């Protein structure tokens, strides 16, 4: 299964990716996670992308496209992949099509998680991430047994810099201006499957698996 997840910031892409990647036995490739890991490790790539991410702006395509090309050349993608956060504009979608066409491994589907802006803001402003394993929790909707500590690995939870209210507003604008056009792009390509991302995490996973099972 070669799959792209698309949806606004906070739609639940990372949360659903965890379950979908496990269900289909494919690697979850999140460009945001790769960039944050580089920032944490202090690599040259991390230094280059940090300021863009803190402002809620897209990192330049020249950086992102090469990062994804390299990742898709890793052997674990032979069985497929779940791309989360890429592509994020029509230029990136065209680059992805070219990379996959060279490898003769086209996408099977693009799953759109659709959700109202009011729900997004509540999800992002209460999100907490584990410093150790990167899992997302929520102070109201996905709580941990001990406040501030990850249930999965006991790591410390923190709030992402770009989950502050003023940056959330900019990320939503960037989504509308630059990322939303890829939804029409993939509709035209006949690859788009849209589901509602409202409701419980388990209900959305079930919805997604059922929609994706029909294309196999
Ligand atoms: P990235 O890391 O990709 O962030 P994003 O797309 O903004 O998405 P998020 O991670 O914020 O949200 P999500 O949809 O994964 O939601 P989640 O599951 O965590 O990108 C960050 C930045 O990196 C970009 O701004 C850009 O600078 C850069 N970047 C990355 N890729 C790039 C690219 N291709 N090109 C250029 N720049 C790039 O859920 C959110 C919260 O809601 C959590 O707390 C969760 O617990 C909770 N939640 C989830 N589902 C539910 C539910 N059903 N009910 C209640 N709560 C829920």
Structure tokens at 187: 């509709």
Strand blocks (E) in 50-181? 81-84, 109-114, 127-130, 136-138, 157-158
Provide the CATH number for the domain around residue 8. Answer: 3.40.50.300
88 a catalytic residue:
yes
Write out pLDDT tens, residues 143-188: 999 999 999 999 999 999 999 988 999 999 999 999 999 999 999 9
What does the DSSP assignment read for 163-198? Answer: GSHHHHHHHHHHIIIIITHHHHHHHHTT-EEEEE--
User: Does a structural domain hold residue 133?
Assistant: yes
CA distance 197 to 5: 12
Write out pLDDT tens, residues 123-134: 999 999 999 998
User: Does a structural domain hold residue 32?
Assistant: no
User: Does a structural domain hold residue 46?
Assistant: no
- Cβ(28) to ligand 1 under 6 A? no
CA distances from 200 to 19, 20, 37, 162, 205 (A): 13, 15, 28, 24, 9
User: Does a structural domain hold residue 53?
Assistant: no
Going by alpha carbons, the residue nearest to atom 2 of ligand 1 is 32
User: Does a structural domain hold residue 20?
Assistant: yes
Q: What is the pLDDT of residue 216?
A: 59
User: Does a structural domain hold residue 152?
Assistant: yes
Residue 101 lies in domain: 2-26+79-213
- What is the number of domains present in the chain? 1
Mean of all residue pLDDT scores within the chain: 95
- Cβ(179) to ligand 1 under 6 A? no
Structure tokens at 91: 């230029």
User: Does a structural domain hold residue 63?
Assistant: no
Write out pLDDT tens, residues 96-133: 999 999 999 999 999 999 999 989 999 999 999 999 99
Going by alpha carbons, the residue nearest to atom 8 of ligand 1 is 9
Could you say which of 50, 160, 164, 187 is catalytic? 160
User: Does a structural domain hold residue 131?
Assistant: yes
Helical segments of 13-83, H only: 13-24, 31-41, 44-55, 61-72
13 a catalytic residue:
yes
């Amino acid at each position: 299964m070669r799959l792209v997840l698309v949806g606004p910031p906070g739609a639940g892409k990372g949360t659903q990716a965890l379950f979908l990647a496990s269900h289909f036995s494919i690697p979850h490739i999140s460009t945001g996670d790769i960039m944050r890991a580089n920032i944490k490790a202090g690599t040259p790539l991390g230094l280059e992308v940090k300021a863009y991410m803190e402002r809620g702006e897209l990192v330049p395509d020249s950086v992102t496209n090469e990062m994804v090309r390299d990742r898709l050349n890793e052997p674990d993608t032979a069985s497929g992949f779940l791309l989360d956060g890429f592509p994020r504009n029509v230029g990136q979608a065209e680059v992805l099509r070219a990379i996959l066409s060279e490898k003769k491994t086209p996408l099977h589907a693009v799953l759109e998680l659709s959700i109202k802006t009011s729900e997004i803001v509540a999800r992002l402003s209460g999100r907490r991430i584990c410093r150790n394993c990167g899992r997302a929790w929520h102070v109201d909707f996905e709580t941990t047994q001990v406040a501030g500590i990850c249930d999965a690995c006991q790591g410390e939870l923190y709030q992402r810099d770009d989950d502050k209210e003023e940056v959330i507003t900019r990320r939503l604008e960037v989504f509308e201006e630059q990322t939303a056009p890829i939804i029409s792009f993939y509709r035209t390509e006949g690859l788009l499957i849209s589901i509602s991302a409202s409701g419980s995490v388990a209900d959305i996973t079930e919805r997604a698996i059922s929609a994706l099972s029909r294309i196999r």
